[in-house]
Amino acid sequence: MRARTAAFILSAVLVIYLGMCVWKGALAIYDGLHQGGAPAGLLGAGLLVFGFLGSWFLVREIQFGFATERLARQLDAQDLLGQEELDALPRSPGGRVDRAAADRLFERRKTETEAAPDDWRAWYRLAAAYSAAKDNSRARAAMRHAIRLRGDSQGLRQG
């Protein structure tokens, strides 16, 4: 629950920051139009673009997080989450997962996914194995694929 709370706090801070970017961008464009300052107008346009793009990315990340959480809850209810395998991986004194053990788990999950390529559950567990192996870009791609297969995207598109 701490991660979710931190995500909401950081999202709120980012919303304030992006709102200020849009506000300052609008003011800079106004100044550029009424006082003849082309650089101020261009800077304002850039701030507006930054504010709107940042908002779009934030919404997509929140949608991704909620969709991932829904899949995890469903797998947990079916007792198919496989979290106990991840928890049982050997760790260093600092808490990092042993890379060789994570790679072995990843190979098992990859084989499972290749055997059932249309099963969103297998893709979810593969994403968790990628994450344990510290391959975060592939973990996110596998999770997005699991979400698409499950049909639980709610606005998520391929990307």
What would the two tokens of residue 61 be? 């990340």
| Amino acid of residue 48 | L
pLDDT at position 157, please? Answer: 47
What would the two tokens of residue 27 be? 């003011």
3-class secondary structure, 103: helix
pLDDT at position 8, please? Answer: 87
Alpha-helical segments (H) within 35-119? 38-77, 83-87, 99-115
Q: Which CB contacts under 8 angstroms, 24+ apart, belong to 91-99?
A: 97/132, 97/133, 97/134, 99/133, 99/134
Q: Are 102 and 121 in contact (CB under 8 A)?
A: no
Q: What is the pLDDT along the chain (159 residues), one digit of tens a residue?
A: 687 888 889 999 999 999 999 999 999 998 888 887 788 888 889 999 999 999 999 999 999 988 998 998 988 888 777 777 777 777 878 777 777 888 888 888 889 899 999 999 999 989 988 888 778 899 999 999 999 998 854 444 444
